Amino acid sequence: MRHHLILRVVSKMLIPFIMLFGLYVQFHGDFGPGGGFQAGVIFAAAFILYALVFGDDQARKVVPDKALILLVPLGLLIYALTGFAGILLGGKFLDYDVLSSDPTHGQHLGILVIELGVGITVAAVMISIFRAYAGRTKAIDKEDW
Amino acid sequence: MTELFLDLTSAGLLAAGSIFVLIGAFGLIRLPDFYTRLHAAGITDTLGAELILLGLMFQAGLSLVTVKLILISLFIFFTSPTATHAVANAARVMGLKPMLIPDKDLENTEDR
């Protein structure tokens, strides 16, 4: 593993910034380019980079499979519940205007919550897809590198 | 007067960056083997991109755009040499030998 030293140091340094940028894209999505899907992919890329450099086993300790199984439906649930909240508050499905007393503020809030749901699901699904490939075969032995 | 100075500095940096990128592109096509080509591509990534970003900073002045450009150049400064290193390392580990180095010089580098 010695010749991975540079990769490990640089990844360790960069992973927090990748996550921070993911959050920036997530919550800046209603003002500029970005949104839930892109943010989810960027956020998942941080975890995938961690898994690539430090190994799949180590990455499974950071985000266990059980957490992923919970996070995938959680995002979808946030999306759906926001939609039904519109109906319950007297509007249509996914009607943001009724979420707050002020329609503009309601739209702002609705998009923010929906994008959060999208982001959570996309990030969890991306990590799951990576896991499905990475965990397919036995890890390569040290001598075989 | 300051405007003119800033514009000239910016133009000079942009031109220098473009020349480095051009040299890198020529090197990528003209150089003989993987490692030398990687060397050319590395110059494009770091020196070319950094000079162009520096030129853009002089155009943007003291604003949020400059802060973003500084951050971008910082991340490029760290990531592209790392990526180049990773690719070269992977090629070396897989047994690809540099073309221009005689075999006797490679003997001591086998154990890493």
Q: What is the pLDDT of residues B43-88, one digit of tens each?
A: 888 889 999 999 999 988 888 999 999 999 999 999 999 989 889 8
Question: Are B93 and A145 inside 8 Å of each other by CB?
Answer: yes
A55-66 burial: b if 16+ Cβ within 10 Å, else e? eeeebbeebeee
CB of B86 within 8 Å of any CB in chain A?
A: yes
* Residue A136 pLDDT > 80: no
Confidence grade of residue B94 (pLDDT, cut at 50, 70, 90): confident
Rounded to two decimals, what is the model's pTM? 0.79
pLDDT digits (tens, 9 = 90+) for B33-51: 898 899 898 888 888 999 9
Which residues in chain A are contacts of B82 at CB distance < 8 A? 6-7, 10
Confidence grade of residue A16 (pLDDT, cut at 50, 70, 90): very high
CB of A20 within 8 Å of any CB in chain B?
A: no
Question: Are A13 and B78 inside 8 Å of each other by CB?
Answer: yes
Residue B47's contacts (CB-CB under 8 Å, 6 or more residues apart) are: B17, B20
Question: How do the domains of chain B map onto residue ranges?
Answer: 2-109
Question: Are B89 and A3 inside 8 Å of each other by CB?
Answer: yes
H-state helical runs in A28-102 = 36-54, 56-62, 65-88
Minimal-distance CA residue of chain A relative to B95: A145
Could you give the C-alpha distances from A10 to A5, B46, B71, B75, B86, in angstroms and in order? Answer: 9, 16, 16, 10, 11
CB of B85 within 8 Å of any CB in chain A?
A: yes
pLDDT over 70, % of chain B: 92
Number of domains in chain A: 1
Domain ranges, residue A46: 2-144
Confidence grade of residue B102 (pLDDT, cut at 50, 70, 90): confident
Over chain B, what is the mean pLDDT?
87
* Residue A74 pLDDT > 90: yes
Residues in A 109-128 with any Cβ partner in B closer than 8 A: none
CB of B82 within 8 Å of any CB in chain A?
A: yes
Which residues in chain B are contacts of A2 at CB distance < 8 A? 112
Distance from CA of B78 to the nearest CA of A (A): 7
Q: Is this complex's ipTM strictly greater than 0.90?
A: no
Could you give the C-alpha distances from B38 to A110, B1, B78, B79, B98, in angstroms and in order? Answer: 48, 42, 17, 15, 11
pLDDT score, position A139: 63
Question: Are A3 and B82 inside 8 Å of each other by CB?
Answer: no
